[in-house]
Amino acid sequence: MTDKKSFVLYFDNKTQFDMLSDDQAGKLIKGIYEFVCSGVTPEFEDGMIRMAFSFISAAIVRDTAKYEEKCRKNKENVKKRFERQRSLTNEYERKRSLSNVTDNDIDIVNENDNDNEKGNDNENDMQSSLYDCENSPSPSEGSEKIIEHYHKICSNFSRITAITPERCNAVNSLLSKYSEEKVIEMFNKASRSAFLNGSNSRNWRANFDWLINEANFLKILEGNYDNAKNSHNSIVSDGFYPDKYASLVNNFD
């Protein structure tokens, strides 16, 4: 009848058994097992047994149908979960492959609260197109524009040779909070900053990944990296101001 390993007799079935003699009850239970195991309805000469069997077998058929429907739904759910997991695994493998693209000309700079920037500007003159890389993701229209603005405005900084998912996500996150005009303003301020162009004690120079970091983005817009000028109107960088230094020395005279 089915691949079930059991069937249910309900307490209500006791009413049918109580109406039968022990001999009739024995024939009934044997007939029930035959029906469950083979699916064949046994033939009873005794009308009482036939009546009791009809009640019990109807309940067994109903329970079996529910069981088979539950099995069918469980199989469908398992299949859906498997396909979803396989899709997620394939997506993960694709992103991991993309994240393994070597990008030697970009150094990530971590800036602490005292503006102690660390990093290298490993500038690379590779002329390959951003979109020639077979594994490059398809950036959004917004991120494409931002990268074009960066190359046009910040031409003195290192160029981008690969568009990674991390870069796309960083640009999209920035554009979700700030306008394209604000990003362009930031690029213009950064391109004019002597400090961000390498005029500092470590010869460190900013790059695209550092500029689109939201914390650095805001500091640039707020003027933290604007060129300071001394009394002779010459550019001073890296936090050194000759007039303040001279005043400090004079205090010891």
Residue range 106-121, pLDDT digits in tens = 443 444 444 444 444 4
Q: Are 163 and 138 in contact (CB under 8 A)?
A: no
Q: What is the pLDDT of residues 60-73, one digit of tens each?
A: 888 888 888 888 88
In this structure, what is the dihedral angle of CA atoms 205, 208, 212, 213, given to the nearest 10 degrees?
A: -60
Residue of 99 and 233 predicted with greater confidence: 99
Tokens of 46: 């005794």
3-state secondary structure of 34: helix
Q: How many residues does the chain have?
A: 253
The sign of the dihedral angle between the CA atoms of 121, 125, 126, 131 is positive
In three-state secondary structure terms, 228 is strand
Beta carbons of 120 and 107 less than 8 angstroms apart? yes
Residue 86 in this model has a pLDDT that exceeds 80: no
The CB-side HSE value for 181 (13 A sphere, CA atoms) comes to 0
Measured CA to CA, the distance from residue 124 to residue 51 in angstroms comes to 91
Q: What is the mean pLDDT of the chain?
A: 75
Q: Which one has a higher pLDDT value, 142 or 138? A: 142
Terminal Cα-to-Cα distance of the chain (whole angstroms): 108
Q: What is the structure's pLDDT at 224?
A: 93
List, in sequence order, every residue forming a beta bridge with 229; answer none if it has no partner: 235
Check residue 91 and report its DSSP letter.
Answer: H
Structural contact between residues 55 and 16, judged by C-beta atoms closer than 8 angstroms: yes
Cβ partners under 8 Å of residue 144, min gap 6: none
Q: CA-to-CA distance for 193 and 16, rounded, in angstroms?
A: 95
Q: Each residue of 201-220: pLDDT tens digit?
A: 889 999 999 999 999 999 99
pLDDT at 13 over 80: yes
Q: Where are the beta strands (DSSP E) in the chain?
A: 228-229, 235-236
Q: What is the C-alpha separation between 202 and 121, in angstroms, rounded?
A: 11
